[in-house]
A and B are shown apart, each in its own frame.
Chain A
Amino acid sequence: MPGATPRVTQQYLENFRDRVVRIVGKVTKLNGDTAIIDANGTVKITLNREANLAVGHAAEIVGRVQPDLSILMLGSTDFGTDFNLNAAAAVVEATHRWKEIFYGDD
C-alpha cells in the first residue's frame, strides 16, 4: 500500500530497512541531534529540526530505517506522559498479525 507507514517496535526494524515507519517509545535520552527511545528495545533516532521531544515522555517518530537500524526522523508527535506503551505494543503486534487491514503486502 503506497503511503503506508507501518507501526513497529524495535524487534521489527530489521524487516523494514530503508522503509518509512512509525515507532512509539519512551524518550530516555536527548543528546544534540540524536535521541534514544525505548520501544520494546533501544532505538537511536537522528532528529530533524522540528523535533520537540522531551525526556520521560512517550513520542511517536515517523522516519526512515537506516542500515544500522537507527531511524532518520521525518516527523514526531509528543504523546505525553499518560500514554500506554503496552497497549501501543499490542497494536504493533495486531498490525503485523492482521496486516490485511493495516499494511497488506498485496
Chain B
Amino acid sequence: MDYGNYGNQYGSTSFGGQVGGMGGGMGGGGFVASQNSPSGGGRNYENSSLRPVTIKQLLDAQMADGSEEFTIDSRAIDQITFVGQVSNISAQSVRITYRLDDGTGIIEVKVFSPTEGDHVTSRPNVEENSYVRVIGKLKSFQNKRHVGAHIIRPVTDFNEISYHLLEAATVHLYFKHGPPGAKDTSGSAGNMSGVQQGGVATGGAGGGVSLGADGLPPGLSAAARKVYHTLSNTPQSNEGLHLQDIANKLHMDAAQVGRAGDELLEMGLIYTTVDDTTWAILSRDTLF
C-alpha cells in the first residue's frame, strides 16, 4: 500500500520532469524514474494466473524493494489458491478472518462479508477444524501477511488435500527445474512431456497408432495427426495457427483440415484462440 503511493509519486515526478523539459539535470532525473515506472507503475496482466501454493510458500514469498508484487520461485504471483484447516474464525462487522493451517504454516485469510441486498453469495458453511479451499491474493499490511480471499469453500472430498499439495509441488518444481521430462526429474511425469516432444509419425496413415508412438490417443484420423504435428512443430505466437496456414503447409484441403481440427478440439488436444479456425496446442506448457 505504501509502496503504491510511493510508486505513483515517483511516476508523476518523472512525468513532470519530462514535460517541463528544463535542464539536463532534470532530464537525467526523469530518465532514472522512467526506468522504474514499467515495473512499479503499470499493472502487468501477463502475470495473471492462479497458482497453487502452500502457506509456507506464501510466508516465504519475496517482495522486491519498491515493488508491490510478491514472487515465489522468482515468479510474480497474482491469484493464489491453497487448502487448509480452519483453526480459528473471528467475525468482524464487515469481514470474517479465518486462521488457516495447512501443516506447512499458518496464515490469516480475510473475506468481506456479503452486505444485505447483495445477490445470494450464500456464504458456505465454514466451521472451525474443517478443511477449506481458498482462492485469493497475498497481501501485506503493516508487515504482516494475510490473504484477501474471493472464495472460501469447504472441502468435501478429502482427497482434494492430497491433490492440492501434489499440485503445489508440481508447479514449484516446474518453475525451479523447467518442464518435466527435460532431464530425469521424475519418471512418470517425463513420459507425459513426450506427448509434446514425440517425433512426427510419418504419414501416420496406418502406422503405429498407440499412445506411446506419437503421444496421441488412438482413434484419431491421419489428417488430425498431421494437423496436430504441424501445430506442435511450427513456430508460432500464442495465437497458434490459422486453418488456412495449416492447409497450405500440409497441401491439404481446407475442409479436411477443418474436420481434423474438429477432431482435435473434441479430444481437448487443441483449443481455439482468436477465432474458431485459429488453433493452438493445449499442452502442459500452456497451463502454467
Query: Which chain B residues border A56 with CB–CB below 8 Å?
Result: none
Verify A91–B168 contact, CB threshold 8 A. no
Verify A102–B157 contact, CB threshold 8 A. no
Instruction: Mark interface residues in B169-200 (1 if CB within 8 Å of A CB, else 0).
Output: 10011000000000000000000000000000
Verify B59–A95 contact, CB threshold 8 A. no
Verify A4–B166 contact, CB threshold 8 A. no
State A3–B87 Cα separation when bound (angstroms): 12
B: residues with CB less than 8 A from A are 53-54, 56-57, 59-60, 85, 101, 103-106, 129, 131, 157-159, 161-163, 165-166, 168-169, 172-173
Verify B56–A102 contact, CB threshold 8 A. yes
Identify which of A4, A75, A80, A95 gathers the most chain B CB atoms within 10 Å of its CB.
A4
User: Which residue of the partner chain A has the closest CB to B157?
Assistant: A82
Q: Which of A5, A58, A84, A101 contacts B54 (CB 8 A)?
A: A101
Question: Would you give the shortest CB distance from A8 to chain B, in whole angstroms?
Answer: 10
Given A75-B129, A87-B159, are A103 and B169 also a contact pair (CB < 8 Å)? no
Query: Which chain B residues border A25 with CB–CB below 8 Å?
Result: none
* A-side interface mostly: mixed
Interface positions, chain A 81-106, Cβ under 8 Å from B, are: 82-84, 87-88, 90-91, 94-95, 98, 100-104
State A83–B131 Cα separation when bound (angstroms): 14
Identify which of A83, A94, A102, A103 gathers the most chain B CB atoms within 10 Å of its CB.
A102
A63 at interface, CB cutoff 8 A: no
Verify B103–A4 contact, CB threshold 8 A. yes
Given A1-B56, A77-B85, A87-B159, are A102 and B166 also a contact pair (CB < 8 Å)? no
Size of the A side of the interface (Cβ < 8 Å), in residues, is: 28
State A3–B100 Cα separation when bound (angstroms): 11
Query: Which chain A residues border B106 with CB–CB below 8 Å?
Result: 3
User: Which residue of the partner chain B has the closest CB to A22?
Assistant: B103
Question: Would you give the shortest CB distance from A14 to chain B, in whole angstroms?
Answer: 19
Verify A1–B105 contact, CB threshold 8 A. yes
Verify B104–A1 contact, CB threshold 8 A. yes
Query: Which chain B residues border A6 with CB–CB below 8 Å?
Result: 103
Query: Which chain B residues border A58 with CB–CB below 8 Å?
Result: 158
State A22–B161 Cα separation when bound (angstroms): 13
Verify B103–A1 contact, CB threshold 8 A. no
User: Which residue of the partner chain A has the closest CB to B159?
Assistant: A84
Query: Which chain B residues border A103 with CB–CB below 8 Å?
Result: 56, 104
